[in-house]
Structure 1
Amino acid sequence: MSTIVVDTAAKHNQHGGVRAGAGRKARIAGPKIVKRIPVSLIPAVEHLMNQLVATPLRPAQHLPADCWKIADNLTRLNIPLATETIPAGFPSPAEPYISDYLDFNQYLIKNQAATIAVRCGGDSMQDAGISRNDLLIIDRSLTPKHRDIVMADLGNEFTIKRLYKLDNSRIELHSENSSQSYPNFSLKEGDTLAIVGVVTYVIKHIR
């Protein structure tokens, strides 16, 4: 076992004053405690702390009430997958055989324990191919990257937006609908954005 400093609830130091700028700079702002952890976990904990310092993004603690949690034990259903791609313009003769079988559970869900499904409630991402009532597959285990489409918790509402990581560590969430005006969200210094997860697939109802 070893010890590592982690954040906890605020406690005030009652022993003397504090000079501005004095002492060793903390890697993560806020009060600290000493907590014992296995030595083998130190690299993982330090990596997590470095990530928290490097980005204002953080995982959301709450989920929408109407999200669907993927079942722990998924059934398997193999659907025939044709060899040829099918053009949308001019028809072509279909191959008379099947090349493979596709299980949509395996295809759509990479991390079962971290995957949820939600329905899109608006049209702000229409130009990105996401329309109202589309079913979105959200992977909460993925680290959000620049230009990922993400589900975000804004504190009083959830939203689906395009994530932009700009210079000087600024974070913005952009709408994509050229036919209507939808707001973008820009995080100011000190703001913390909670990311529910990254949108990996969009499922549309055609008929």
Structure 2
Amino acid sequence: MLAMNKIKILGITVITIVATIIVTSCKDKRSTGWEYAPNMYEHIAYDPDQKNDNFKDGKTAQLPPAGTTPLGFVRFDYPNTKDGYEKAGLEVKTTLPQTQANYADGKILFEHFCSPCHGVNGQGDGLVVAHGYPAPPSYSKGQSSRGGAMKDLTDGKIYHTITYGVNAMGSYASQLEPKERWKVIMYVHHLQTL
């Protein structure tokens, strides 16, 4: 008797499954079925290239308001000119604390980005000089192409030079974020004393 009930239950289950498959397969063939998370397919936000009636010009991508600063961006309002260089030299000072950790980071960054030209000790004897490129001036003994001794360069002048570059040295603004530039400057000040 118990075996008969098991066969009946199994039979009813199979018939139910088959009936469900037949009923659901007879639906509209163009249907994609149930959507588990429709917001992944039909997002509310506008794409930048989409038309947008919320703005007068109908564009989604808008220019930011004048005078705004993007999150995480550090403004450096000194132009890439001799006057901008001199003004930065007088006004710009580091706000980064003089710690051993920052100094160590500055040394590593200098060795990776600056030593190929300036040399490990900042004497202008990097690897590129061995390949025929002109030697940059020594930090402790050389003269700046903008005037004055390299050992007297201030925070602002070095920051300006890293940001914009000078002569054969290109800008390192895309390689070194502002905080990293200050760490390099901290290490350069050490090299100025050698």
TM-score range for the pair, normalised by the shorter chain length: under 0.3
Of Structure 1 and Structure 2, which has the larger fraction of its residues in strand? 1
Of Structure 1 and Structure 2, which has the larger fraction of its residues in helix? 2
TM-score under structure 2 normalisation? 0.21
TM-score under structure 1 normalisation? 0.20
Instruction: Give 1 or 2 for the bigger CA radius of gyration.
Output: 2
